[in-house]
Amino acid sequence: MSDQQSITRAGNPAKPHGEAGAEMLARMNESHAPVTAWALSHAHPAPDAAVLDIGCGGGATLRRLAELVPQGTLVGLDYSPLSVAETRYYNRDLVTAGVMQVMESSVEDIPFAPASFDLITTVESFYFWPAPQDNLREVRRVLRPGGTFLLVADIYDKPGLPEQALRNIEEYKLFNPSLLRLGGMLHRAGFRNIVLHTQPGTDWICAEAHA
């Protein structure tokens, strides 16, 4: 097992904790940058949009999102106290300026009123959610009419996934639906105009869904 894999195992990507968790989150801020940049190219928020990132981890996605909404407001949500602390620190200028808040909470119960956000993102987190169908309904609840949800991962169920990806799915018990299944789940959760973007040469998925 590589050093990186040992750190990931000790840091627990499902709910990061401890020194290894902090190291892993810093690495993910870098390693998830390409899939995140690709996925966010599908988002076209108004400059003053209200944005939510679920499972914000080390905070790099929120920083990218802040560039898309220069007059907007941003919320990071994560049930790991370490992820909340790391995201706050990574974006401390934006937190201090009052444009970003980071909250410790699970996707199971998002502490906001219905229709609070114009854009909701989640990157490399969905596969850990405890009750994916119910959790998607909860995301739909807080999305405004006309708003966009982007569900992003670097794997989805398809033939020919690399061995390491298959090992990760087994070790971390990842929920890894096919395009067909994910599309159906989003529809049942109340989303419409669902587009499942994939990127040739990768196993990336960006599910774009609207309220």
Catalog residues that contact ligand SAM under the rule CB under 6 A: 13-16, 28, 32, 54-58, 61, 77-80, 83, 106-107, 123-125, 128-130
Position closest to ligand SAM via CB: 57
Nearer to ligand SAM, 121 or 148 (CB): 121
The order of strands in the sheet holding 73-78 is 100-104, 73-78, 50-54, 117-123, 143-153, 205-210, 192-198
The burial class, CB within 10 Å (0-12 / 13-18 / 19+), for 184 is middle
Instruction: State the nearest-atom distance from the C-beta of 104 to ligand SAM, in Å.
Output: 9
List beta partners, residue 153: 205
Instruction: State the nearest-atom distance from the C-beta of 45 to ligand SAM, in Å.
Output: 18
Instruction: State the nearest-atom distance from the C-beta of 184 to ligand SAM, in Å.
Output: 21
Nearer to ligand SAM, 48 or 162 (CB): 162
Exposure string over 6-30, b if 16+ CB within 10 A, otherwise e? ebbeebbbbbbeeebbbbbbbebbe
Nearer to ligand SAM, 145 or 170 (CB): 170
Nearer to ligand SAM, 4 or 192 (CB): 4
Across the chain, how many H-helices and E-strands are there?
9, 7
Instruction: State the nearest-atom distance from the C-beta of 37 to ligand SAM, in Å.
Output: 11
Nearer to ligand SAM, 32 or 186 (CB): 32
Tokens read off for 8: 């990931």
Instruction: State the nearest-atom distance from the C-beta of 160 to ligand SAM, in Å.
Output: 23
